[in-house]
Structure 1
Amino acid sequence: MTTARSQLICPDITPYYHCVSRCVRRSYLCGVDKLTGKSYEHRRDWIEQRILSLANVYLIQIYSYAVMSNHYHLVVRVDKESALALSDLEVVERWHAEHQLPLIIQRWLAGEIKSDTEKEACNQFINEWRKRLYSLSWFMRELNYSIAVQANKEDQCTGRFWEGRFKSQALLDEKALLAAMAYVDLNPIRAKMADTPEKSDFTSIKARLTSLEKGETTTPSLANFMGYEHQDKAQGIPFRLSDYLELVDWLGRQIRPDKPGYINNAQPSILTRLSLDQSDCLALCTELEKKPRVWVGTSARLHQAKTTLNKKRMVALHIA
């Protein structure tokens, strides 16, 4: 039985999620169709740019992403707190960046609303938009819909472009978050589409490395690395970028029998700091997508999530 999305995405339990969307047609989403020889590589840029543009509208922070041939990955943080802190005007401005405004909201902006009934109608619109701005489902819906429209237009066809609703995994703690981010950034290397992270086009790690080469400390539209000691997790990723790059490099050097690609060997200090040894970290990244485990975390965090949701069982990946 399909689990309700509200049971899979619950920002009050965890704000971190790993999402995957796959293409339904035999034609490649973004790669080169070996049967026909036709290239769809330009669509990878469509998706990357759409992810980054929507991140400037929605309160969904992008931690990592990878656009592959027939699917893409995202690791995100649902920033509910920031959405609730927006003023009504900020909510309307963000929503208007991607959508047409109803006439009554246009009048609200012009200061023409007088009656209590109209004010209540405006409040209903704004409250609904505020909820949507931190809704992962709405973010993914808008991302996938626009790409499907573009692809169908280019292919001169109609019908479903995506396999179905996106798949999501709840990441219950920083260990799960770190593993998911590394897993996503290493996708092109494991698929033998690239030899090193700096050559992995259409990934968050390539975007971050490009910014570093330019001498920039941040990457536009991506969440920033704040350092492990930083207490305000809402403001960014709770690891140092240098440690994360070491970790990705080390994991990428481990040869996996089920994947053709790999890179060579280094020991990152972040593993010790998170009390996560190398074998556990490698196993977690290896197992992340083998089975449909929609909750990822330590036994204590999984038990807490079960209690909160009043569930006896959860399809989960346990971390030691």
Structure 2
Amino acid sequence: MTISRRKLIEPQITPFYHVINRCVRRAYLCGDDPYNGKNYHHRRGWIVIKIKQLATVFCIDICAYAVMSNHYHLVLKIDTEQQQKLTPKAVISRWLQLFNGHPIAVDFLKEGQVGAEKQQALSNLITEWQQRLGSISWFMRCLNEEIARKANKEDQCKGAFWEGRFKSQALLDEKALLSCMMYVDLNPIRAGVTPSLEQSDFTSIQQRIREYQQPKTATKQLPSFQLLPFVGAEHQAKTAGINFAFADYLELIDWTGRCIREDKQGFITSNQPRILQQLGITPDAWLEHSEQFMERYANVSGKWSQMCAFKQRIGGQWCKGKSASHRLHPN
């Protein structure tokens, strides 16, 4: 039985989620289409631009992204603290960047107040919009609908551009988050479409590397959009960011990518990155997750006991990934 999206995304349990969406019938509607010979690579740029724009409006941070020819991956973090701190004017201002606002809300934004007879209606609107600004479902709706409209207009056609519902996976701990981000960042290399991280277009790892390599003394203005930062210390509060140093993550992803490309077994055993040693993850377990994360888990990934508790809470009767979870969490 299909579980409702509302149950699958539980910010009170974890703010981190992996979401995936595919073009209808898995067609190559964002890349080189082998059936009609057309090139749609520019649509991948549309998706990245829209993701970044939505991240400045929603209370949702981007941990990782990879836009491929017929699907895309996002690792998202719901910022409930920011969502709860939004003022009524901030809620309305953000919502008006997405949709035409209700006249009552527009009047409030212009005048700073509304009549007593409209106050309850305004309060209801603000409450509803504030909830939506922290919703992954609304984030995905805004992303997918705009890309579908632009693509259909370009193709001069109508109909579905994306498959039905997007797929989501709850990431319950730092090991699940780290391995899922690695899986997403290495998607182009795993698919054999690029030889290096630096050449992995339309990915978060390419963006992070470029920003990391910029001169520290550069006086460039910070961009309006920034990926969720690596905060450089393990086991901090989940609100701080990604609890590892980016230099360590870069070492790990470079090592993982080399192992995937070259299948160097001797290299695997003799050059283990620091993060794996700290987390107590074996190289074999790590590479399995970096290459097969989606195949190993369904709606949730983490320590097995926590996965079972999550599944029970949302009303599920079966939980996939027991053996994989035990390999990633040996203790």
Q: Which residue of 2 aligns with 1:284?
A: 289
Contact 1:252-1:263 at 8 Å conserved across structures = no
Q: Which residue of 2 aligns with 1:239?
A: 244
Using the TM superposition, name which of 121-130 and 21-30 deviates more: 21-30
- The RMSD of aligned alpha carbons is 2.1
Q: Which residue of 2 aligns with 1:304?
A: 309
1:83-102 residue pairs with structure 2 within 5 A?
Answer: 83-102=83-102
TM-fit CA distance, 1:97: 2.0
TM-fit CA distance, 1:80: 1.6
Greater fraction of residues in helix:
2
CA distance, structure 2, for counterparts of residue 6 and residue 244 of structure 1? 32
Q: Which residue of 1 aligns with 2:193?
A: 193
1:1-320 residue pairs with structure 2 within 5 A?
Answer: 1-25=1-25, 27-109=27-109, 110-115=111-116, 117-215=117-215, 220-229=225-234, 231-255=236-260, 261=261, 265=267, 266-290=271-295, 293-309=298-314, 311-316=316-321, 318=325, 319-320=328-329
Contact 2:26-2:71 at 8 Å conserved across structures = no
| Shift in alpha-carbon separation, 1:164–1:307, aligned structure 2, 3 A | closer
CA distance, structure 2, for counterparts of residue 137 and residue 146 of structure 1? 14
How high is the TM-score relative to the length of structure 1? 0.91
**Structure 2 unaligned regions, length at least 5:** none
| Shift in alpha-carbon separation, 1:231–1:97, aligned structure 2, 3 A | same
CA distance, structure 1, for counterparts of residue 149 and residue 95 of structure 2? 20
TM-fit CA distance, 1:135: 0.3
SS in 2 for 1:124: helix
SS in 1 for 2:302: strand
Using the TM superposition, name which of 168-177 and 223-232 deviates more: 223-232
Runs (4 or more) in structure 1 with deviation over 3 Å come to 216-220, 261-266, 306-313
**Structure 1 unaligned regions, length at least 5:** 256-260
Contact 1:189-1:262 at 8 Å conserved across structures = no
TM-fit CA distance, 1:299: 1.6
Contact 2:3-2:316 at 8 Å conserved across structures = no
Q: What is the one-letter code of the residue matched to 1:179?
A: S
Q: What is the one-letter code of the residue matched to 2:170?
A: A
TM-fit CA distance, 1:164: 1.1
The share of aligned pairs that are identical, in percent, is 46
TM-fit CA distance, 1:302: 1.6
Using the TM superposition, name which of 219-228 and 62-71 deviates more: 219-228
CA distance, structure 1, for counterparts of residue 44 and residue 292 of structure 2? 26
CA distance, structure 2, for counterparts of residue 62 and residue 262 of structure 1? 30
Give CA-to-partner distance per residue, 1:113-168, whole Å, 9 cap, x none. Answer: 121x3111001110001110110000011101100000000011000000111011
CA distance, structure 1, for counterparts of residue 105 and residue 285 of structure 2? 52
Q: What is the one-letter code of the residue matched to 2:231?
A: M
| Residues matched between the structures, number | 314
SS in 2 for 1:21: strand
Give CA-to-partner distance per residue, 1:206-262, whole Å, 9 cap, x none. Answer: 01111123236987331111012472431311111011111111111223xxxxx56
TM-fit CA distance, 1:316: 4.1
Contact 1:18-1:171 at 8 Å conserved across structures = yes
CA distance, structure 1, for counterparts of residue 157 and residue 312 of structure 2? 47
| Shift in alpha-carbon separation, 1:32–1:243, aligned structure 2, 3 A | same
